[in-house]
Structure 1
C-alpha cells in the first residue's frame, strides 16, 4: 500500500511538473540587447494593443489600465505623466516594435494588472502568468539589518560600520512598530551582531510569510563610494534591469558575500523567475518610503530617488521587498549623521509612515 501511495504521488508530481512546463512560454530575444518583438508579447496578452504614427515616430502600447508612450529611437518613455529613462531605445522593424528589457518589464510591472513571472535566459524571455492574488493586509514586517558578524559591510574613515548602524535602526524600527501597530508581528532577521548568509535572510522572511500571511521585507544598509562627495539615501526594489550603472555597482557591492548553497534545479528556477505583482508592489513600497524619508530627512540627507537592481537579498523573497541605502558612510558629514540617534529615529519613523502610505496605495 505504501509503495502504491508513493507511486501515485510520483505520478501527481510528474504531471504537475509537465503542466507547469507547458504553462511557461519562451519568447526569442534578438541581439545582445535582448530585444523582444511586441507581437510575441501580445500573443500571450491579447489585452495589449499598439499604435504607431510614422510621421512623428511616436508609438504607444495600451492596456485597459493605462498606456505607455515612446518615440522610436529615443531612450525615454512616458506612463501616467511620468517620464522614465531606458538604456537602449525602442526600435521599429517589419511593422512591429522591438522592445528592450526595461520597457518589457514596464509592461509587466507598471502597465498590466496580471501577475507575470519572467526571466531573461540565453536567447529567450521565459514567462508564465500566475493566478490572480488577493489584496494584501500586512500581518508581518521583516526587518533585515544588513551584513553582521564577520561581514562589517562598509565603514567610515573613523571606523563606524554599516552593520552596527543598520542594526541600531532595525531595533528602533521594531520598537516603534510594536508601539504604533501592536497587531503586526515584527521579526528581525538578525537581532544581534550575527553573520547570516543573504539567501538565509529571504528564507526567514518566506517562513514568516507562510506562518502569518501577507508580509513586507525591508533590508537596511549604508552606502559607500570612492568619491567622498557623493551623498544621499536611495531605495531599491528588485529588477534584472538596473536603473543606472551606479545601481548595478551598488548591487554588486551588496551581493559580494553571497555563497549559494545546494544545487536544486527547482530552487534555482524559483530564484531566477520574477513576479511582476511582487515587483509592482515593491515599487509602490519603495516610492512610499522615499516620499516619507524625503519629508523627514531633507535637507540633512538628500534623496537620490527610487532605483532598481538585482540584489541577492531581495531575489528569493516571495513578498514585496525593498533595500534602503540610508546614506553614505564615505561622506564625512553624512557618516556622522547616520551615527546620530535622533537621525536614526527619523529614518525609522519615515519607514513606518511610508509603509502606512503603501497600504493605502498598493492596490
Structure 2
C-alpha cells in the first residue's frame, strides 16, 4: 500500500479526472453501483470494528458526490442510498428496469489468514452476451486501482454470484472486493476518509469509457 504517496496520488487522481471528463465523449453509459450488504447484514467486520456495509456505502456516496461535481456527469444510480437491506433479486431487477449498461457491485474481503491482502475483481462464470465486456472492464478497474493506489492484485476471477448471474445477460457486470478488513494494513488504509475518496476516484476513472 503506497501510504507515503497517498496525498500526492490524491492530487494526481483529481487532475486526471478533470482532464478525462473535460474531453468530448459519447453519450455516457448508465451505471448501477450496487452497494453491498446493508441493514441487519453488516457484511465482513474488520479487526478494528469497521463494517463492510458502511465502507462500501461511504465509497458509493463519494462516487455520487464526485460525479455530481463534474461538468460532464455519468448517469449513476445506487442500489441503496441508506443503511437498508435490499434483496439480491431487487438489486438485479433495478439494473434491468433502468436498462443499465454497467453493474458494479462493491464489497470488501475477509479471511481467517491475517496476511491475506489485495483486491479481487469477479465476473460471471456464465457465458452470455456481455461476458467479454465484463472481463475487459474488470481488468480495467483492477489495473486502475492497483496502479493509482497501490493495492496488490489478486486477479480477475469468475464466480456464480447471484448479482452477476442475473445481470450478465442484460449488461456488463463485475463485483469488486476492495481489500481485506482482516488485514491490519488494509483495514487501517480503508478506514481513512482520504483513502476512501481515492478509491472512489479510481473507480470513476476506470468506468468512464
Is this a same-fold pair by TM over 0.5? Answer: yes
TM-score, normalised to structure 2's length?
0.82
Pick one of 27, 34, 46 that aligns with 1:144: 34
C-alpha contact (below 8 Å) 2:48/2:187 kept by paired residues = no
Does 1:315 find its partner at 2:165?
yes
Pick one of 196, 199, 203 that aligns with 1:344: 196
SS of 2:177's equivalent in the other structure is strand
C-alpha contact (below 8 Å) 1:138/1:216 kept by paired residues = no
Per-residue deviation, residues 278-313 of structure 1 (Å, max 9, x unmatched): 111100110111111111111xx3121211111111
Match of 1:162 in 2: 52
Match of 1:288 in 2: 140
Aligned residues: 182
Offset, 1:189: 0.4
Match of 1:192 in 2: 82
User: Residues of 2 paired with 1:166 and 1:314: CA distance?
Assistant: 18
Does 1:234 find its partner at 2:111?
no
SS of 1:294's equivalent in the other structure is helix
Per-residue deviation, residues 143-184 of structure 1 (Å, max 9, x unmatched): 111000010001012211000001000010111222236443
SS of 2:179's equivalent in the other structure is strand
Q: What CA RMSD, in Å, does the superposition of the two structures yield over aligned residues?
A: 1.6
Match of 1:171 in 2: 61
SS of 2:91's equivalent in the other structure is helix
Per-residue deviation, residues 96-133 of structure 1 (Å, max 9, x unmatched): xxxxxxxxxxxxxxxxxxxxxxxxxxxxxxxxxxxxxx
Could you say which structure has the larger radius of gyration? 1
Does 1:279 find its partner at 2:131?
yes
TM-score, normalised to structure 1's length?
0.48
Match of 2:156 in 1: 306
User: Residues of 2 paired with 1:287 and 1:183: CA distance?
Assistant: 23
| Structure with more relative contact order (C-alpha pairs < 8 Å, separation 6 or more) | 2
> Hey, which of these two has a bigger chunk of strand by percent?
1
SS of 2:122's equivalent in the other structure is strand
C-alpha contact (below 8 Å) 1:230/1:328 kept by paired residues = yes
Q: 1:137 to 1:283 in 2, by over 3 A?
A: farther
